[in-house]
A = this chain, B = another copy of it.
C-alpha cells in the first residue's frame, strides 16, 4: 500500500457532492490530510445533426457567477447506466432524443481532489420529443444553442468555450469526423 489511510471523516453529505477528509500516512511514516469531493459521476451527450451542427445548453453556473456554453450533461442517478443517463439528460435539457449513441470516452474532471467521472457519448439521428424539454427549477436559466461543430471548435481555440467536458467532447468528435489520428 502506497498511502495508508489512518482515519476517515465524512464531513458533509450534500445534493451534488459529499466532503470526505482522510488522514493518511506516507511510506516515510509522516502523516497528512486528503480532501475528497465525492461525486456520483455523470454522463455527457454531444448531440449532432446531419448538417454538422451541435446542440449546446447555456446556463448560469453558480460557482463561477457566469453563463457557460456546455454540452448537455448531468449526474448519474443511483444504479443508472451512463448511456441512459446521457439520453435522459439530453431529453430533459433540450427536448430532443437521439436514436444512435456511440461512446467517445470517460474523463476524470479533476482527480487531485475529486472522484467524478464523466462518460461522454456522440448522439446522432436526433428527433424532437413530443413532450419537449423538462427542466428542473434549478435549470431556470438554461437555453439551447446550436452551431456548427467547426464554429464550436473555433470557440474552443479562441478560449470562449471553457468547460472541460465540452472541450473534450468537441475535439474528440472533430478528430473522429476528419479521420485524424
**Residues of A at under 8 Å CB distance from B?**
2-3, 11-12, 14-17, 19, 21-22, 24, 26-28, 30, 32-39, 60-64, 68, 70, 105-118, 137-138, 140-141, 150, 153-154, 156-157, 159, 162-165, 167-168, 171-172, 174-175, 178, 180-181
Interface contact A180-B174, CB-CB below 8 Å:
yes
Known pairs A106-B162, A180-B180; A12 contacts B2 (CB<8 A): no
Residues of B within 8 A of A167 (CB): 105, 107, 168, 171-172
How many copies altogether?
2
**Most-contacted residue by chain B among A11, A17, A174 (CB, 10 A):** A17
Write 26 A-B pairs (CB below 8 A) sorted by A numbering: A11-B19, A12-B12, A12-B35, A15-B35, A16-B113, A19-B19, A22-B62, A37-B63, A39-B113, A63-B112, A63-B115, A64-B111, A68-B108, A105-B156, A105-B157, A105-B159, A107-B162, A107-B163, A107-B167, A108-B162, A110-B116, A110-B164, A153-B175, A153-B181, A154-B181, A167-B172
Within 8 Å by CB of A163, from B15, B21, B22, B111, lies B111
Q: How far is the CA of A179 from the CA of B68 in the complex (A)?
A: 27
Complex formed: what's the CA distance from A165 to B154 in Å?
18
Known: A16-B35, A64-B108. A181 touches B163 (CB 8 A): no
Asked whether A164 and B108 contact (CB < 8 A) given A26-B137, A180-B174, the answer is yes
Q: How far, in whole Å, are A141 and B159 apart by their CA atoms in the complex?
A: 33
Contacting residues, chain B, for A172 (C-beta < 8 A):
156-157, 167, 171
